[in-house]
């Protein structure tokens, strides 16, 4: 198996400083040498506990969740998050997914949880002992967060809350040890009537079911039957859960594009290697202009998407607000282009890439999901359009 090697800085990485380039190279090395062999022993659609432990041992989870004298916090920049996800995805998509889901599920707690809840759960998540899930979507409310219907009613006897309803397309479900759950506390109030809660995976009345996907991701459905949540497990303020969710998604959305870019780069790498060796019509496929130009077009579009991703992340890190439009552009272009890159790679490989277990067969199943996760491409286009017209109307 090919392994990652460090290479001199190129013009394609000139916008990154030396520390960022080193982070990317180090992540790629760990992904190819440590995580990829381990991930091959895991099972599709299930939380890989061994891989989570390795992500902790190799210091990746410590970049997401770190502790100092002031307590637990996350000091990772949005750009660093993107570089880690890109590097992992290029060499081990399972490690990338495990890393991203751990961050997505724990950030609401880290940012908005009580000290008691943070001290109880974040050390376990950071060590890889506990898997975290982000429970936002519902059967009738995916991209339309204002339509969430999972009910949270005050439990006067116990001083907490009771949750009833259903969540679906939930990361690490039904195997997660703890979930960040968004429920309706004020009926009819839209996005302003949501509250974020922390719910342990073993809570009484919580039932989970696995969803089998084309993509090999641990995703499931959760059913809440009078699940009790104590007051210390409220994340942030009551009826302000939408802000908790958006702070997490604003941080993670550009890095979904980085995940896609990593897969696209893996597809291009594989195609360069294959077409350089595959003989046809009297010479290597790579000598054919149609092959070379197709790869050149794809590589150019992938690099353009990569720059959009890095720019959106850098804007977030610089404190620019809002970065919603830039993040939407980055996610939209990166995920759409990645699909194109993998499809082109399969076409240039021919039937061999269709075999079960081939890298590109795996990437083809993987790359489809990011065009839907954390806001489908159609939603990103609407976000961009609204921002464009808002500027025009404001003149």
- If you average pLDDT over residues 93-120, what whole number do you get? 96
Q: What is the mean pLDDT of the chain?
A: 93
pLDDT, tens digit (0-9, with 9 covering 90-100), for 354-384: 999 999 999 999 999 999 988 899 999 999 9
188, two tokens: 């009819």
Q: Check residue 97 and give its pLDDT.
A: 97
Q: Residue 224: what pLDDT?
A: 98
For residue 90, the SS3 value is helix
pLDDT in tens, 174-229: 999 999 999 999 999 988 999 999 999 999 999 999 999 999 999 999 999 999 99
Output phi, psi for 155, to 5 deg.
Answer: -100, 90
Identical fold for domains 11-131 and 133-239, yes or no, is: no
**Residue holding tokens 């880290």?**
110
Percent of the chain at pLDDT > 70 equals 97
Q: How far apart are CA 50 and CA 222, in angstroms?
A: 24
Rounded Cα distance, 261 and 90, in Å: 8
CB 51 within 8 A of CB 95: yes
Structure tokens given for 254 = 């550009």
Give the model confidence (pLDDT) of 318-338 as tens digits: 999 889 999 999 999 999 999
How much is the average pLDDT of 300-324? 95
Separation of first and last alpha carbons in the chain? 57
Q: Would you say residue 47 has pLDDT above 50?
A: yes
Helix, strand, coil % (nearest 5) of the chain?
Answer: 55, 15, 25
Alpha-helix runs per DSSP H in the chain? 18-30, 36-39, 49-57, 60-64, 78-91, 93-112, 115-126, 241-277, 289-317, 324-349, 359-367, 377-393
**For residue 314, pLDDT beyond 50:** yes
Predicted local confidence at residue 393, as pLDDT: 76
CA torsion sign for 109, 374, 46, 49 is: negative
Q: What is the pLDDT at residue 154?
A: 95
CATH no. for 11-131: 1.10.540.10
- How many CB atoms are closer than 10 A to CB 18? 8
Hey, where are the domains in the chain? 11-131, 133-239, 243-393
Rg, the chain, Cα only: 21
Determine what percent of the chain is predicted with pLDDT higher than 90.
84
pLDDT at 1 over 50: no
42: its two tokens: 């895991």
| Residue 83's pLDDT band (cuts 50, 70, 90) | very high
Q: Are 238 and 207 a contacting pair, CB within 8 Å?
A: no
How far from chain centre, in Å, is Cα 38? 20
- 2 pLDDT band, cuts 50/70/90, is low
Cα gap 73→129, rounded to integer Å: 18
Distance separating alpha carbons of residues 84 and 78, to the nearest angstrom: 10
Residues with a catalytic annotation lie at: 374
Does 133-239 carry CATH code 2.40.110.10?
yes
**Least confidently predicted of 136-140, 224-228, 272-276:** 136-140
pLDDT at 32: 97
Question: What is the reported pLDDT for 157?
Answer: 76
Would you say 36 and 3 are in contact if contact means Cβ atoms under 8 Å apart? no
Residues 26/60, Cβ–Cβ less than 8 Å: no
Residue 19 in this model has a pLDDT that exceeds 80: yes
CB 56 within 8 A of CB 34: no
The whole-number pLDDT of residue 86 equals 98
CATH architecture of 243-393: Up-down Bundle (1.20)
Residue 88: CB partners within 8 Å, gap ≥ 6?
27, 31, 35, 60, 95, 96, 99, 262
C-beta pairs of 248-252 under 8 Å, 24+ apart in sequence: 248/104, 248/107, 248/108, 248/111, 248/134, 248/180, 249/374, 249/375, 250/316, 250/322, 250/323, 250/324, 250/327, 251/78, 251/81, 251/107, 251/316, 252/81, 252/100, 252/103, 252/104, 252/107, 252/374
**Torsional class of 171: left (φ above 0), alpha (ψ -120 to 50), beta (otherwise):** beta
Alpha-carbon distance 180 to 386, whole Å?
Answer: 29
Helix (H, G, I), strand (E, B) or coil at 288: coil
Task: Report how far apart, in Å, the C-alpha atoms of 42 and of each of 37, 48, 134, 143, 176 are.
Answer: 10, 6, 22, 31, 16
């Amino acid at each position: 198996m090919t392994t990652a090697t460090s290479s001199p800085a190129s013009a394609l990485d000139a916008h990154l400083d030396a520390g960022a380039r080193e982070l990317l190279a180090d992540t790629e090395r760990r992904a190819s040498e440590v995580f990829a062999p381990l991930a091959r022993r895991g099972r599709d659609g299930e939380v890989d506990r061994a891989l989570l432990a390795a992500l902790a041992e190799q210091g990746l989870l410590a970049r997401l969740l770190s502790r100092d004298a002031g307590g637990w916090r996350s000091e990772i920049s949005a750009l660093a998050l993107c570089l880690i996800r890109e590097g992992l995805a290029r060499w081990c998509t399972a490690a990338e997914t495990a890393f991203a889901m751990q961050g997505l599920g724990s950030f609401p707690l880290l940012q908005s949880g009580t000290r008691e809840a943070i001290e109880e759960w974040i050390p376990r998540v950071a060590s890889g002992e506990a898997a975290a899930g982000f429970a936002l979507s519902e059967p009738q409310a995916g991209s339309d967060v204002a339509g969430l219907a999972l009910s949270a009613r005050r439990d006067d006897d116990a001083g907490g809350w009771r949750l009833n309803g259903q969540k679906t397309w939930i990361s690490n479900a039904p195997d997660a040890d703890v979930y960040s759950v968004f429920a309706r506390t004020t009926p009819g109030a839209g996005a302003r009537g949501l509250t974020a809660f922390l719910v342990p995976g073993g809570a009484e009345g919580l039932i989970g079911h696995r969803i089998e996907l084309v993509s090999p991701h641990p995703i499931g459905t959760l059913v809440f039957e009078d699940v009790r949540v104590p007051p210390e497990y409220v994340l942030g303020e009551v009826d302000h859960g939408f802000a908790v969710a958006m702070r997490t998604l604003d941080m993670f959305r550009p890095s979904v594009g980085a995940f896609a870019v990593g897969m696209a780069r893996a597809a291009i790498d594989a195609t360069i290697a294959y077409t350089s060796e595959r003989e046809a019509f009297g010479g290597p496929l790579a000598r054919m202009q149609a092959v070379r130009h197709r790869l050149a077009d794809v590589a150019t579009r992938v690099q353009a998407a990569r720059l959009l991703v890095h720019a959106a992340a850098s804007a977030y890190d610089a404190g620019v607000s809002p970065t919603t439009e830039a993040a939407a552009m980055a996610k939209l272009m990166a995920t759409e282009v990645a699909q194109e890159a993998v499809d082109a790679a399969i076409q240039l490989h021919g039937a061999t890439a269709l075999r079960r277990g081939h890298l590109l067969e795996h990437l083809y199943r993987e790359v489809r999901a990011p065009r839907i996760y954390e806001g489908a491409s159609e939603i990103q286009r609407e976000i961009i359009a609204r921002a464009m017209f808002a500027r025009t109307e404001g003149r």
